[in-house]
Structure 1
Amino acid sequence: MSVTETSPSTAPTVQLRLARIPADGLYEGHRLLRRTPDGWQERPYEHVEIVPQAATIGAEVRGVDLARPLRAAVREELNRALLEWKVLFFRGQHLSSAHQRDFARNWGELETNPLLERGDSDEVVRFDKGAGAPPSFENVWHTDVTFRERPAMGAVLQLREIPPFGGDTMWADMAAAYDNLPHAVRARIDGAVAEHDFLPGFRRFYAPERLAGLQDAFPPVTHPVVRRHPETGRRMLFVNTSFTTRIVGLEQAESDRLLRLLFQQAHVPEFQVRFRWQAGDVAFWDNRATQHYAVADYGDARRVAERVAIAGDRPY
């Protein structure tokens, strides 16, 4: 039996319709999920137990009482775990505000945020939501206080009262978000600078006269669109919906289009971890490497949290 080949000149031409190009830049299929940077040295944890919660971000830490002073070896392992997993979870700690502050101080001086409600000290921010409280403004993907020249290095959050359902918090790995951008987009934003301002995140909560005074205290600042982590050297996307207003040097319309694409990267489930709280649980996250989102799905139920933030450095 012979087979007759069709010559290339007579082969039928197949016409394919153009594929849809996602407007948000979120392409389906395989994603690069690197938990650690190149050259990372894997070592066992000898003083704490690390239980991963997602592929690249989020781990529960067992075997440590945060109310006690940290031994140097435990602090070193917790810092290594923070760099590896970006957010750490500690179940059932029930810390006093003083213990929460003492734990956070293992990573540096604490910062205050005059735009948020205080707890029992200037360093403690209290989020008391539901049951007639003012509406929440944490249910948007954001990195804390990037409207400051030196945004927070990290934060320690404890849930004191949980609603009967809902109230989870989500974190997104912004190193994975950067890794998975198309090469052309990465080439465009490496070296770019963006402006950050407190107004987009806070203007709906203050009267105009109060905002005018705050604008003098918190003028816009600029940060790199892609920052390098000061401890690992890893590149991370460093723009967020709450505070990034424009990319310097671009027309506003072009800047808006590019920022919309970059903002959407935090929405990819493969880059996220979601934590379901119990009263007394603590989360400690690297604010340099993540965005987070407090899910406001608990209706009029009450949710009470307290947060302590650690002062950071200037992004580069």
Structure 2
Amino acid sequence: MSLHITPVSPALGARIEGVDLSQPLSAAHHAQLHQALLDHQVLFFRNQPLTPAQQARLAAHFGDLHIHPIYPNVPGQPEVLILDTAVTDLRDNALWHSDVSFLETPALGAILSARQVPPYGGDTLWASSSAAYEALSEPLKRLLDGLSATHDLNKSFPESRFAITEQDKARFEDAKRRHPPRSHPVVRTHPVTGRKGLFVNEGFTTRINELPDAESDAILKLLFSHSTQPQFTVRWQWQQDDVAFWDNRITQHFAIDDYSPQRRIMHRATVLGDAPY
């Protein structure tokens, strides 16, 4: 049975109907979802309750899964991390970022399941990195092509917030040891579509390596602002049991922190990708 695909924004995003994500994907549905992800960059599904095991199985259709070095995970299902505002300081999600871009092989994508959402607020924004790149002037594209940038776990996960207890400190020091800063191209080529996109983000990118500090700061400030303009974005209003699946190679996202003191619980399964080029 073919999926029903409804675009929700010109730049990116589509709502998908006609599949039960709690069941193993058929070969046909897997192929259709993969193509829809390439075409629309972020996919949205309503009314798809998933257990952590089902969510991990779904994500594993698309690649090996990542275990996050900082966030807590579901007991017995370590590939599914927990984003719970009653437990963890999630300010690092309330800015534009590309998940785990500090890895040598950052995420291909992620599947996010809404377990508990406030009655209003708590929306998430996604931005198309390819749409942002394609809107740049040709001289600026030529400047950026061939440059690299440093991505650092410490920028979004500072010791002051994530190493409070002795147990936290040990985990944090281990995370820093296993995940030193990494360099990636400023302009990344999508490994499947060949489409170019900006691969710098406010969450983890600290500097452009080939430029002096002042020039690096100025260019990054410009790119952070340019790439998140409204015309490059889509905004999703969560309902309980919604699922979002995004291509992390060509997007970045922002979880709006506007619902305190209400609680928001999300589960995320992250699919590992390949080294950017």
Give the counterpart letter for 2:20 in structure 1.
D
Q: Give the secondary structure class of the aligned counterpart of 1:111.
A: coil
State which of 202, 219, 241 in structure 2 corresponds to 1:280: 241
Distance of 1:152 and 1:287 partners within structure 2: 6
Q: Does 1:178 align with 2:133?
A: yes
Q: Does 1:291 align with 2:256?
A: no
Q: Give the secondary structure class of the aligned counterpart of 2:197.
A: strand
Q: Give the secondary structure class of the aligned counterpart of 1:273.
A: strand
Structure 1 207/66 Cα, relative in aligned 2: closer, same or farther at 3 Å? closer
Give the counterpart letter for 1:194 in structure 2.
A
1:219 deviates by 1.1
Q: Give the secondary structure class of the aligned counterpart of 1:158.
A: strand
Q: Give the secondary structure class of the aligned counterpart of 1:107.
A: coil
Give the structure 1 partner of residue 24 of structure 2: 69
Give the structure 2 partner of residue 111 of structure 1: 66
Q: Does 1:163 align with 2:118?
A: yes
Distance of 2:189 and 2:45 partners within structure 1: 27
Query: Which structure would you say has the larger RCO, counting Cα contacts within 8 Å and 6 or more residues apart?
Result: 2
1:175 deviates by 0.1
Distance of 2:178 and 2:53 partners within structure 1: 29
Contact kept, 8 Å, 2:112 with 2:243, in 1: the verdict is: yes
State which of 139, 142, 149 in structure 1 corresponds to 2:97: 142
Q: Give the secondary structure class of the aligned counterpart of 1:308.
A: strand
Contact kept, 8 Å, 2:130 with 2:196, in 1: the verdict is: yes
1:1-316 correspondence runs (5 A): 47-120=2-75, 121-130=77-86, 134-203=89-158, 204-207=160-163, 212-316=173-277
Contact kept, 8 Å, 2:122 with 2:238, in 1: the verdict is: yes
Sequence identity (%): 44
- Post-superposition Cα deviations, 1:271-293, rounded to whole Å, max 9, x if no partner, equal 00000111001000000010000
Give the counterpart letter for 2:233 in structure 1.
Q
TM-score, normalisation: structure 1: 0.82
Distance of 1:67 and 1:213 partners within structure 2: 34
- Post-superposition Cα deviations, 1:181-240, rounded to whole Å, max 9, x if no partner, equal 122211100011111111111114234965554432211111000010000000000000
Structure 1 178/118 Cα, relative in aligned 2: closer, same or farther at 3 Å? same
Distance of 1:286 and 1:163 partners within structure 2: 26
Report the aligned-residue RMSD: 1.5
Q: Give the secondary structure class of the aligned counterpart of 1:157.
A: strand
TM-score, normalisation: structure 2: 0.94
Give the counterpart letter for 1:309 in structure 2.
T
Distance of 1:150 and 1:133 partners within structure 2: 25
Contact kept, 8 Å, 1:57 with 1:172, in 2: the verdict is: yes
Give the counterpart letter for 2:84 in structure 1.
D
Structure 1 67/122 Cα, relative in aligned 2: closer, same or farther at 3 Å? same
Give the counterpart letter for 2:197 in structure 1.
M
Distance of 1:134 and 1:111 partners within structure 2: 21
Q: Which runs of 5+ in 2 are unaligned?
A: none
After alignment, is 172-181 or 114-123 more displaced? 114-123
Q: Which runs of 5+ in 1 are unaligned?
A: 1-45
Give the counterpart letter for 1:301 in structure 2.
Q
Off by >6 Å, runs of 4+ in structure 1: none
Distance of 1:201 and 1:290 partners within structure 2: 18
Greater fraction helix:
2
Greater fraction strand:
2
Tell me how many residue pairs correspond in the alignment. Answer: 270
Q: Give the secondary structure class of the aligned counterpart of 2:105.
A: coil
